[in-house]
Amino acid sequence: MNRLATRVIVLLLVALTATVIAGCGGSSATSSVRKVDAAKAVGMLDSRVVVDVRTPTEYAAGHIAGAQNIDVEASDFASRISSLDKKGAYLVYCRSGRRSAIAVDQMAAAGFTDIVDGGAMDALVAAGAKTQ
* Per annotation, catalytic residue among 53, 70, 72, 94: 94
**Distance of alpha carbon 2 from the chain centroid:** 54
Question: Where are any strands of DSSP class E within the chain?
Answer: 32-35, 49-52, 68-69, 89-94, 114-120
Would you call 24 a catalytic residue per the annotation?
A: no
Q: How many CA atoms lie within 13 A of 6 on its CB side?
A: 3
- Relative to beta strand 32-35, strand 68-69 is unpaired
Query: Residue 37: what residue type?
Result: D
Annotated catalytic residues are 94
